[in-house]
């Protein structure tokens, strides 16, 4: 069973529809007990990291996510679902995130329009998540912050927007993307298919 975490994220329904479109066997969960039964996990997200962390903590989902990832359960984080994996966030003041990957969530530098809304290229290096997806394919982004990590080994794709930032990460059985595959048409669905196939 693939668990899609419901903590009030605005893109939950669009993520669920995209996964249903490709035939994924999914279940929407909102408790740590439900998440503990999952064979794979999808964490969608839009909005601020602080709000997301508070919502996850209020439902006991923050520690449950850490435990599922530590256990090697396939995991996909989307947008803010990627950002909360970092150690800290600078969004609306400093606050702690899940601490699963090293680094901080930082705002784009001055001089770039924020949020970045729309299509942008994702340059990847052939990781299985991007199987049969050409490098520099465009995906849909909506964000003002990005994950700044010192661990280059976990970065599997980058995007240019005033600077080169990680647009996809991979570590163990977990992957995460800054863009929205559920809003990225053909190639977004292909990426979701790649994840579901690996998670099966």
Per-residue model confidence as pLDDT tens digits over 84-143: 999 999 999 999 999 999 999 999 998 889 999 999 999 998 999 999 999 999 999 999
Active site residue 97: no
CB burial of 154-166 (b: ≥16 within 10 Å; e: otherwise) equals bbbbbbebeeebb
Give the pLDDT mean for 61-86.
97
* Global confidence as pTM: 0.96
| pLDDT the model gives residue 125 | 87
CB burial of 46-81 (b: ≥16 within 10 Å; e: otherwise) equals bebbbbbbebbeebebbebbeebbeeebbbbbbbbb
Out of 79, 97, 124, 193, which one is annotated catalytic?
79
Active site residue 180: yes
Out of 91, 124, 143, 180, which one is annotated catalytic?
180
| pLDDT the model gives residue 159 | 98
| pLDDT the model gives residue 105 | 98
Domains and CATH numbers, the chain: 2-199 (3.40.50.880)
Out of 97, 124, 143, 182, which one is annotated catalytic?
182
Active site residue 21: no
Cα-atom radius of gyration of the chain, to the nearest Å?
A: 15
Per-residue model confidence as pLDDT tens digits over 122-134: 999 899 999 999 9
Q: Is residue 10 pLDDT above 80, yes or no? A: no
| pLDDT the model gives residue 187 | 98
């Amino acid at each position: 069973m693939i668990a899609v975490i419901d903590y009030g994220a605005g893109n939950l329904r669009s993520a669920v529809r995209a996964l249903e479109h490709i035939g994924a066997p999914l279940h929407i969960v909102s408790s740590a007990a439900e998440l503990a039964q999952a064979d794979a996990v999808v964490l969608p997200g839009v909005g601020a990291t602080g709000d997301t962390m508070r919502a996850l903590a209020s439902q006991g989902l923050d520690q449950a996510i850490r435990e599922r990832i530590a256990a090697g359960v396939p995991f996909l984080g989307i947008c803010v679902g990627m950002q909360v994996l970092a150690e800290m966030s600078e969004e609306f003041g400093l606050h702690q995130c899940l601490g699963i990957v090293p680094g901080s969530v930082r705002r784009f530098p001055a001089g770039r329009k924020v949020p970045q809304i729309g299509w942008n290229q994702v340059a990847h290096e052939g990781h299985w998540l991007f199987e049969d997806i050409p490098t520099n394919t465009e995906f849909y982004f909506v964000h003002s912050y990005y994950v700044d990590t010192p661990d280059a080994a976990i970065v599997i794709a980058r995007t240019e927007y005033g600077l080169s930032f990680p647009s996809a990460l991979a570590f163990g059985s977990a992957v995460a993307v800054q863009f929205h595959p559920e809003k990225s048409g053909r190639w977004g669905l292909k990426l979701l298919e790649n994840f579901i196939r690996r998670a099966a």
